[in-house]
Amino acid sequence: MKKQGKFLTITGCIFALGILLSIIGIALGGNLAEASITQDKFTTKTFRKTIDNPAEIHSLSFDVSASDITLQEGSDFSIEGTGISKCKIKDGTWKVTSKIKNSFFWGLFPIKVGNWNIFGTKKGRKITITIPRDHALKEVSLDAKAIDWRIDRLNCQDLDIDVAAGTIRIDHLTSNKTDISVSAGDVRIKSFQIGGEAEISCRMGDIRLGSEDTRENNLCNKLEAECSMGDVRYYGKLTGDNEVDVTMGSIKLNLTGSANQYDFSSNATLGDVRHKNRDASPNSASPLYGTGNLSCTMGDISVTYSE
């Protein structure tokens, strides 16, 4: 009976440890796969492919895990890298998928956090994707699970970014509509022209739209930004009707133009909404850029004007 009791105790502890590690992994931005000892299809061989008919591609859909990815401009559509499990074109959409190789024990608790699993096995892989210069795309979907994206230039109608715990860096973006959702990752877009609208949701991550160097040329027609516990910084001009909502995080708007070129209403519960240089050199003849509402519950919203 004592041996049986010890066995049950040890078994219970192992099971509880597995559940605890699963919860930690999900909290850090991991994704819980189906509990199974069956390994995903995986190859360590280098995969190379050049698209024969690039004119038929109008959209991109990339769902990749634990990879270092570069999206660059070139003369054609091509891809090269390891760990690629799917690469196909369907109805004009180029779909690329990669998976993580699971060990036997890892298959029991398959949590993917960063380029490492909880037992110390690194599964990082490099992938290089090339798209033709000046090729305008309709839809681009980037689903980043603990990866590092580096993108030179992206021109599309609709851009959808979903980051769990990875990093996406874009040097130049031109789009009509941009949706960005960050759980615990990092998105940085150096310069942008968003003619339609941008919807941003930041939970515990970090989002940078623009920089001080590109501030004068950046434009977003309509910004809807929601920040829970993360940090969002915007550099550029805002036009149209905008909505900024902070729960416990921080949003800093570094706007092009003077304060009289924007008409914002604001409300704060336990948080703070500040306009840093609101009275600097007002000019009643200046055109009105954007309007909107700034709402802050327990966080911080800071608005700075360039003039």
Residues 118 and 195 in one domain: no
> Do 114 and 177 belong together in one domain?
no
Domain boundary among 85, 105, 131: 131
Q: Which of the four pLDDT bands, split at 50, 70 and 90, describes residue 28?
A: very low
In this structure, which amino acid lies at residue 142? L
* Rounded Cα gap, residues 157 and 195, in angstroms: 9
User: 114 and 261: one domain?
Assistant: no
Q: Confidence class of residue 99 from pLDDT cuts 50, 70 and 90? A: low
- Outline where 44-142 has alpha helix (H): 104-108
Q: Say whether both 7 and 115 belong to one domain.
A: yes
Q: What is the mean pLDDT of the chain?
A: 79
Q: Is residue 41 part of a domain?
A: yes
φ, ψ dihedrals at 105, nearest 5°: -70, -35
| Residue 199 placed within a domain | yes
Strands 290-296 and 262-268: parallel
227 and 180, same domain (yes or no)? yes
- Residue 18, domain member (yes or no): yes
What confidence tens digit (pLDDT) does each residue in 241-260 have? Answer: 999 999 989 999 999 999 99
Pair of tokens at residue 205: 């991550």
CA distance 93 to 103: 32
298/212 same-domain check: yes
pLDDT digits (tens, 9 = 90+) for 101-121: 544 443 444 444 444 444 433
14-19 average pLDDT score:
53
Same domain for 147 and 96: no
E-assigned strands of 76-220? 78-81, 84-90, 93-98, 111-112, 125-132, 137-145, 148-163, 167-182, 186-202, 206-209, 219-220
**Is residue 18 domain-shared with residue 112, that is, in the same domain?**
yes
* Mean pLDDT (whole number) for 292-303: 94
More confidently predicted of 35 and 40: 40
Q: How far apart are CA 66 and CA 112, in angstroms?
A: 8
The last residue of a domain, from among 131, 152, 179: 131
Domain that holds residue 207: 136-305
Within a domain: 24: yes
Question: At 186, which amino acid appears?
Answer: D
Residue 93 covered by a domain: yes
Same domain membership, residue 172 and residue 100 = no
- Write out the two tokens for 42: 């995986």
Same domain, 152 and 294: yes
Confidence class for position 12, pLDDT limits 50, 70, 90: low
Q: Is residue 289 part of a domain?
A: yes
Confidence of residue 10 (pLDDT cuts 50, 70, 90): low
DSSP 8-state code for residue 211: -
The residue from 131, 160, 176 where one domain ends is 131
Position 214 scores a pLDDT of 96
Residues 267 and 146 in one domain: yes
Torsion angle in degrees (nearest 10) through CA of 11, 13, 14, 19: 130
Q: How high is the pLDDT of residue 246?
A: 96
Of 11-25, 119-133, 144-158, 278-292, which range is least confident? 11-25
Tell me which of 133 and 232 has the higher pLDDT: 232
Mark whether 170 and 191 lie in a shared domain: yes
Number of domains in the chain: 2
Q: Note the pLDDT tens digit of each residue in 148-199.
A: 899 999 999 999 999 988 899 999 999 999 999 999 889 999 999 999 999 9
Which residue in the block uniquely carries the two structure tokens 């800071």? 302
Structural domain contains residue 69: no
Q: Is the dihedral of CA 201, 207, 211, 214 positive or negative?
A: negative
Where does residue 103 fall: left (phi above 0), alpha (psi -120 to 50 degrees), or beta otherwise? Answer: beta
Q: Are 242 and 291 in contact (CB under 8 A)?
A: yes
Query: What's the pLDDT band for 9 if we cut at 50, 70, 90?
Result: low
Q: Is residue 25, in this structure, part of any structural domain at all?
A: yes
Q: Write the DSSP string, 260-292.
A: GGEEEEEEESSSEEEETTTTSS--TTSPP-EEE
Q: How far apart are CA 145 and CA 168, in angstroms?
A: 11
User: For 89-98, 187-196, 203-212, 224-233, which range has the lowest pLDDT when averaged over its residues?
Assistant: 89-98
Residue 189's pLDDT is what?
A: 97
pTM for the whole structure: 0.76
